[in-house]
Amino acid sequence: MGDDPTQQVANGRTTLGIELGSTRIKACLVDEDLVPIAAGSHEWENEFVDGRWTYSLDAVETGLRAAYAALVADVEAQFGVRPTTFRAVGVSAMMHGYLAFDAAGELLVPFRTWRNTSTGPAAERLSEALSFNVPLRWSIAHLYQAVLDDEPHVAEVAGITTLAGYVHRRLTGRNVLGVGDASGVFPIESGPVDSGPGEPGSRDWDGHMLATTQELLGEHVPDLRAVLPEVLVAGEEAGALTPEGAAWLDPTGSLSPGAPLCPPEGDAGTGMVATNAVAPRTGNVSVGTSIFAMVVLEHPLSTPHEELDVVTTPSGDAVAMVHCNNGASEIASWARVFGRFAEASGSPMPTDDVFRVLLDEAEQADPDAGGLLSFNYLAGEPVTHVEDGRPLLLRTPDARFTLGNLVRSEVHGAFATLAIGMDVLHGERVQVDRMTAHGGLFRTPGAPQRLLAAALRVPIALEETAGEGGAWGIAVLATYLEHTDQQLADYLSDTVFGGDAVHVAEPEPRDVEGFQTYLGRYRAALPVQAVAAAATRPDATGTGAAAAPGAGATTTRGEGTAGAEPRLPAEQEVTR
């Protein structure tokens, strides 16, 4: 056990984790036992500017400072002392996208987030040339698309990075990426790593794929390797907070330079850490505005699959990722309807209680949802080749239309696309001992965990600490700088999660059979999506309201949808 938190803060023995999610920037302070003791956050939203989704770098700076100031205020209110330095610091952010800089470090075009979908031709050509699935949202797809579109700024590109990489560079002056974040920029070499137990291994950009991509880019980008940041794995030294970085984060002048930083990571990597899912045969499922599953692989996939992204853990081990644009937002919409009904009837209920009542009904419902069918498609869904999504509730005249079946259908619908993607992994004979779930939906015990186990046909675990989210996950990676005598997976299992209670739900045959029946109806009804979209586009009748920017287009396999993003209870900023 560590000293009193006040002394830890005063002596600089706490660890700071920062994560920039799609709707919130969060700062989390943990003590020597990795227990969160203070937090600060700042809400922000992406902007649709000149046909592209973006966040301005001014908004990045303002939001980071606001989140950090809120954390400092929380520390002072609790402990009566202001932090001036830290044991270590870590930065995480939403992955992918395109931040391009010239030789002087000036941004050439506004930040293009993972949400932009203009990279189809580039992603297709890269995937074919590399025999590797390159999703639309990956940074290399954005760069190559700029080349294909003859964008003038390409001639000035001296470097590209991710949002986490940009913030890390501002704090340390180092142009580096953690390997997990890097794996959403360009493919990582997946061969064996020559490192002993406890030693940080070495991972780098795939040399063969670099050479092939260089041929595609030609003289437009003369040296692709020089444009990409240095790749580091968890535990490797990634720089220290500079005087300029300290002043950038804390303009009050209270923060001193010198704290070490871990490699900057993407939100997928911090989600793996926060759920203790970095060892082979483990995985996690994040359910929020989007939904995705990640499984650490024992062996390479036999062939590329467009349903699967291959990324890595923060240690560089290959991970198969099924990413669905549409998650639990439709469930949240139904919860708001029923919450309003309770309020209008004179018996208002807290949001968590509304979810509890509805999900308790779902747990007692028919295994196949009584013949009901729900689509949660607020946006396009690449996994099922749906370009323009519409949320739908369908039923036959003889379906059992009950409250429980309605809610169970919506939960099944939220998990259906993920199950379709996971079926590809089953076909590859990928073995999974268990998967850990996290996200706001799992604040309600029981039905969500049990029904997810049935949908994916694997045991689903809930860790008590998984709810702390990505800011806590990157703080854990920062503390790992002092523990590289252990492999990251061992450090997490033995030290970080060693005393935590784990609640595991096994797939129940009756639920599995019911979900498979439901999924068969779901697959058969997918063509209805195209009909519904065509009939409800604004240009179909000439009277429809204008769609939200970006709605109705094929979206990337990234977090969120094209319009306003509904909140789930305690929704985590884990992405994709």
The region of weakest confidence among 161-170, 303-312, 438-447 is: 438-447
pLDDT at 573: 37
* pLDDT band for position 216 (cuts 50, 70, 90): very high
Distance CA 163, CA 196 (A): 32
Residues 6+ apart with CB under 8 A from 288: 327, 328, 439, 440, 441, 559, 568, 571, 572, 574
Residue 220, exposed/middle/buried by CB under 10 A (0-12, 13-18, 19+)? middle
Q: 17-45, pLDDT tens digit by residue?
A: 999 998 899 999 999 999 999 999 999 99
Residues 6+ apart with CB under 8 A from 385: none
Report the relative pairing of strands 159-161 and 502-505 from DSSP bridges.
unpaired
The rounded percent of the chain whose pLDDT value lies above 90 is 74
pLDDT at 567: 33
pLDDT at 445: 79
Average pLDDT, the chain: 89
Question: Residue 319 pLDDT more than 90?
Answer: yes
- Mean of the pLDDT values across residues 240-266? 98
For residues 9 and 52, is the Cβ–Cβ distance under 8 A? no
Question: Residue 552 pLDDT more than 50?
Answer: no
Type of residue numbered 353? D
pLDDT at 156: 98
The rounded percent of the chain whose pLDDT value lies above 70 is 90
pLDDT at 92: 97
Q: 119-163, pLDDT tens digit by residue?
A: 999 999 999 999 999 998 899 999 999 999 999 999 999 999 999
For residues 505 and 445, is the Cβ–Cβ distance under 8 A? no
Handedness of CA 222, 228, 229, 234 (dihedral sign): negative
For residues 564 and 433, is the Cβ–Cβ distance under 8 A? no
Report the relative pairing of strands 434-438 and 460-463 from DSSP bridges.
parallel
Q: 270-311, pLDDT tens digit by residue?
A: 989 998 999 999 999 988 778 889 999 988 899 999 888 999
pLDDT at 286: 86
The region of weakest confidence among 195-204, 278-287, 364-373 is: 195-204
Distance CA 234, CA 180 (A): 9
Report the 10 Å Cβ neighbour count for 196: 6
Which 8-state DSSP code applies to residue 85? -
- Mean of the pLDDT values across residues 518-545? 84
Distance CA 219, CA 529 (A): 43
- Mean of the pLDDT values across residues 89-95? 96
Report the 10 Å Cβ neighbour count for 260: 18
Q: Which tokens is 110 given?
A: 């506004």
The percent helix, strand, coil of the chain (3-state, each to 5) is 40, 20, 40
Distance CA 285, CA 469 (A): 13
Distance CA 147, CA 568 (A): 39
- Mean of the pLDDT values across residues 198-206? 74
Which of 509-531 are b and which e, b meaning 16 or more Cβ less than 10 Å from the residue's Cβ?
eebbebbebbbebbeeebeebee
* pLDDT band for position 553 (cuts 50, 70, 90): very low
Question: Residue 556 pLDDT more than 80?
Answer: no
* pLDDT band for position 171 (cuts 50, 70, 90): very high
Distance CA 15, CA 28 (A): 8
Report the relative pairing of strands 318-324 and 309-312 from DSSP bridges.
antiparallel
- Mean of the pLDDT values across residues 71-100? 97
